[in-house]
Amino acid sequence: MGRPPSAPASAADEPLIDAYLAMMRAERGASANTVAAYAADLREMSRFLAERGETFAVCARDDLEAFFSDRAEAGLSANSAARKLSCLKRFMLFLVAEKMRDDDPARLIDGVKARRVLPMTLTIAEVDLLLDAAHQAAAFGDPQTPAGRRALRLACLLELLYATGLRVSELVGLPRAAFLGDCKMLTVKGKGGRERIIPLNAKARTVLDCWLDALDAAAQAADGKAGGASASKWLFPSWGEDGHLTRQKFAQDLKALGARLGIDAERLSPHVLRHAFATHLLDRGVDLRVLQTLLGHADISTTQIYTHVMEDRLRQTVFDFHPLSEGAAEKET
C-alpha cells in the first residue's frame, strides 16, 4: 500500500509537475513512494502559489520564500522544510533544463539546516531475544496450518532481515528466484534498479529451507490449484493486491512479537532491524564501503550516518566509565 494521492495542483502547474515525475520514474528509477512524496510537496507549493495568483512558470523568489515562511509559522519542522526545499530546487532545475523557465528563482533561497536524526537501533541482546522468540513460536507451530506457517514466516523474515540488512520493501518483495546456488547467496534489485549480491549465513539458510519446504507442502495440499502457494513467484506470497506480503503486515507481526517480549513498539520496526544490522557490523569493524554495498546505498554519505551512532556510543561509554567523568563518579557513590 503506497501513499494516498495528493490533492491536485493548479491547472497550470499540473502538467509541469507530471513531466517532472515522469522524468524521475524513467531516468532516475525513483520508487513509487519517492515519487508520491515529491508530488505531494510540489502540489502543496502550487496551491500556495495559486492563492497568490502565481504559478511555477512565472513565480519569483519572494513567492517561494513566502511559502516557507508561511509553513514555518504553521509549525513545519526544520527537517520537513529542508526536504521540501530540496524538492523545490530539483524541480526548478528541471524546469530550466527543459526550457520551461528562463531563470531559477529557488537558486538563492537559503538552505534550511535539517536536524541530524540518528537512526534508532536495537542491542544484540534485544535482537537475539526477538529471534529466539520467533523460532520458538515456529517450532511449536504446525507448518501445515495457517497459524504455523505465519509463525515460520515471521522467523524467516527476521532471520533474513538481520542477516542481510535489506530494506523492508526489498525483503517482502523477494521472488523465489532471488536465491543463487543452494540459497547461499541472495540477489537483490534495489533502488534505481541497482542489483547487489548478499551472502546468507547458515542460520538464515536453515530457516529459509524450512520456509520453502512449508510453501511447497502447502502447494501440494492445494493440488496445484490456481492461486495456491505454488502459483506465486514470491518468496512471501499473499492474497493482497501486490501478490506478496505487505510491509505493513510484517511490521504489525513484528510489533506484536516485541510487545510480548516487553519491547516498546515505538522502538521496533523492520527498518530498525536494518539499522541494527548496520550498527552491529560497524561494531565489529566492517569497512564502511563494504557496508555501503550490503545496504545498497548509492552514496557513501548515507552510510556514514551509522558512524555517528558509533560516535555517540563512544561518548556515552567514556561518560559512564572514565574515572574522572561525572557519570563514573555518580556510579561510585
Quote the mean pLDDT of the chain: 84
pLDDT at position 224 is 52
Tens-place pLDDT, residues 2-50: 455 567 777 889 999 999 999 998 887 888 888 999 999 999 999 999 9
Between 167 and 118, the higher pLDDT residue: 167
pLDDT tens digits, one per residue of 169-195:
999 999 988 886 667 888 888 877 788
Residues annotated catalytic, as ranges: 167, 191, 271, 274, 297, 306
Measured CA to CA, the distance from residue 97 to residue 90 in angstroms comes to: 11
Higher-pLDDT residue of 71, 307: 71
pLDDT at 228: 46
Q: What is the pLDDT of residue 328?
A: 47
pLDDT for residue 53: 93
Which pLDDT score is estimated for 309?
A: 58
Over residues 295-320, mean pLDDT? 66
pLDDT at 219: 75
Quote the CA–CA distance of 201 and 122 in Å, as a whole number.
Answer: 20
